[in-house]
Structure 1
Amino acid sequence: MDTDRTASADPLDVTVEFLTPELRSELLKCWNEPQRRYHNPTHLRAVLRAVDALESDGESFDATAVRLAAWLHAAVCDPAGSENTEKSASMAERVLDPAAPIEEVARLVRLMGGHRVEAGDLNGAVLSDADLSVLGADPETYDAYAQDVRHEFAHVPGERFVAGRIAALEGLLERRSVFLTRAGRDMWEKQAHANLNRELGLLRVGVTGD
Structure 2
Amino acid sequence: MADPGEARVLRAGRGWHHLTIGEKTAVLSLGVTVIGTLVGVLAWQLPKQQAGPLATPPAQTAPALPATPGPTTGVPTDPTTGASTGSRVYLDALNPETGAGYLRPLPRALADAGLTHPVTVACPSNNTGDRARSVSYPLRRRYLDFSVTLRPHFAAPEDRESVVRVTAVVGVKQVDDTMTRQVRGTRSASSASPSQPLTFPVEGADELVLTIECDVPDGHVVLVGAELTRR
TM-score (norm 2): 0.24
Rg comparison, structure with higher value: 2
- The structure with the greater share of residues assigned to strand is 2
TM-score (norm 1): 0.26
- The structure with the greater share of residues assigned to helix is 1
